[in-house]
Amino acid sequence: DVKVTQSSRYLVKRTGEKVFLECVQDMDHENMFWYRQDPGLGLRLIYFSYDVKMKEKGDIPEGYSVSREKKERFSLILESASTNQTSMYLCASSRGQLSYEQYFGPGTRLTVT
């Protein structure tokens, strides 16, 4: 089975802190994604990566950056956390250019106080 793991299930940070969210997949997938999930808004794409060191902005990249130094790992970075970044963050991966199924991690619930 594909497994996508995220470094933390729950995280509490203070305004202005730098925050790292880590995601690891074990199925050699080319594509990796970071979403945030908010009630009533569904999932919104923050960034995605289709190869090592490659990244593309999603729909809401402001305030975030990403890093993909190895194929299996995709990190989301909040340079200076703000309260409006309190959310559930979901990582996903998929295979190849025409992959239709994304595999999700369990999510990290981040609270910024």
Partner 1 sequence: AQSVAQPEDQVNVAEGNPLTVKCTYSVSGNPYLFWYVQYPNRGLQFLLKYITGDNLVKGSYGFEAEFNKSQTSFHLKKPSALVSDSALYFCAVRESSSASKIIFGSGTRLSIRP
Return the residue of 34, 48, 64, 74 that touches partner 1, per CB under 8 A. 48
d(CA 32, CA 66): 11
Q: Is residue 102 within the footprint of partner 1 (CB under 8 A)?
A: yes
Tell me the closest approach of the beta carbon of residue 90 to partner 1, in angstroms: 6
**Residue 56 to residues 41, 45, 48, Cα–Cα distance (Å):** 21, 10, 5
Find all residues with CB under 8 Å of 37, minimum gap 6, and list them: 43, 44, 87, 88, 89, 90, 107
Q: Is residue 98 within the footprint of partner 1 (CB under 8 A)?
A: yes
Return the residue of 43, 62, 74, 113 that touches partner 1, per CB under 8 A. 43
Enumerate residues 59-78 that contact partner 1 by CB under 8 A.
none
Q: Is residue 1 within the footprint of partner 1 (CB under 8 A)?
A: no
Tokens representing residue 69 in the block: 């130094």
Return the residue of 7, 17, 67, 104 that touches partner 1, per CB under 8 A. 104
Largest CA distance in the chain: 40
Q: Which is nearer to partner 1, 49 or 85 (CB)?
A: 49
